[in-house]
Amino acid sequence: MMLNQKETGKTVEGPLKQLKITVPKFDNSSLIGSYSITLIGRCLNPPMQDMKTLLYMLPRIWKVEERVAGADLGLGKFQFDFDREEDIQEVMKMEPFHFDY
């Protein structure tokens, strides 16, 4: 048996009005440039891969531990900011990346 809106006392709302957000224009070229030597990745098995260990060990495996900064971006994602273009190029030659610590 189907009850109608009057019998249930519930109202059905229409679609929500979408708000428009306007972002002011600005020159973001220096911001984009600051990420030109950045590597972003994701753990494929976060319950079994410890992010702190990954951030500690990968720069040592790559032999660039003094020239890179790692950050946990949350939700199994990480970021490495390299100091030198040559370092990220050498690291990218080592792909695919596996981490089993």
Q: Within a domain: residue 68? A: yes
Least confident of 6-15, 18-27, 58-67, 86-95: 6-15
Q: Within a domain: residue 29? A: no
CA distance 96 to 76: 18
Q: Within a domain: residue 70? A: yes
pLDDT tens, 40-99?
999 888 888 889 999 999 999 999 999 999 999 999 999 999 999 999 999 999 877 777
Q: Within a domain: residue 21? A: no
Q: Within a domain: residue 58? A: yes
What is the structure's pLDDT at 82? 96
Structural domains in the chain (count): 1
What is the structure's pLDDT at 5? 66
Helix (H, G, I), strand (E, B) or coil at 98: coil
Q: Within a domain: residue 65? A: yes
Q: Within a domain: residue 30? A: no
Q: Within a domain: residue 48? A: yes
- Please name the helix (run of DSSP H) or strand (run of DSSP E) that holds residue 73, with its range, or none: strand 68-74
* Residue ranges making up the domain that contains 67: 36-101
